Amino acid sequence: MYQLTCPHCETANQVSTAKAGGQIECSACQGTIQVPKLGELRSLPTAEPSPQERAASTAAGLSGGRSMAFAALGLVCLLSLLGAAFCGVNWSNIEVPLTTERHLEMLEESYAQANAAQMIREFEDITKYGVDIPNPLEYRTIEMRKQAWGQKTMAFAVAALVAFLLALFVGRKPRTAA
């Protein structure tokens, strides 16, 4: 806003650049004031907003830094939700053919049906080679991969929630003194 002096009563009137080249009405004498073109208008002194106008503009929106923080947090929230959705879809598409509990049940069933000779051979193999296996069983690898996708989904979801709550905190209107 720029200050334009009324030629009739010498009252300072505020005028925006949108009115350049047009006419405005004086706030004091209601006389018509010719507004100069944009180049000349920008050479006039700028109008300092009143405390009421400044309070109204602050209440109407966020300050520059707060609006940037709000936008950045909103973007982080959105990207985190997209990451959570991606990881969640991958988690849900992994089929685990067998669980550890079911594997142990199957071993118990096979040992219950085994005869004495089979049990002796099993015992000899265990004492000779041990029970350690160099790599996890295939079903366990699939199970661990699914668990990892689930953990990533939760991490992204928590990041989205934190960003959302911070955006709410940054974007809330400050309390006005009554």
Q: Taking the domains of the chain in order of start, what are their residue ranges?
A: 2-48, 64-171
157 pLDDT tier (thresholds 50, 70, 90): very high
- The pLDDT of residue 141 is above 60: yes
pLDDT tens for residues 16-64?
A: 888 888 989 998 898 898 988 888 878 888 876 656 656 655 555 556 6
State the DSSP H helix or E strand holding residue 142, giving kind and residue range, or none if neither.
helix 138-171
DSSP assignment of 39-104 equals HHHTTSPBPPPPHHHHHHHHHHS--HHHHHHHHHHHHHHHHHHHHHHHHHHHHHH---S--HHHHH
> What integer pLDDT is reported at residue 98 of this predicted model?
84
Phi-psi region of 48 (alpha: psi -120 to 50; beta: other; left: phi over 0): beta
pTM (global) more than 0.85: no
- The pLDDT of residue 88 is above 90: yes
Q: What is the CATH number of domain 2-48?
A: 2.20.28
153 pLDDT tier (thresholds 50, 70, 90): very high
Which of 119-123, 151-155, 156-160 shows the lowest mean pLDDT across its residues? 119-123
pLDDT tens for residues 92-114?
A: 999 988 888 888 898 899 889 99
133 pLDDT tier (thresholds 50, 70, 90): confident
Give the residue from 36, 91, 56, 70 showing the smallest Cα distance to 170: 70
- Choose from 12-21, 47-56, 126-135, 153-162 the range with maximum mean pLDDT: 153-162
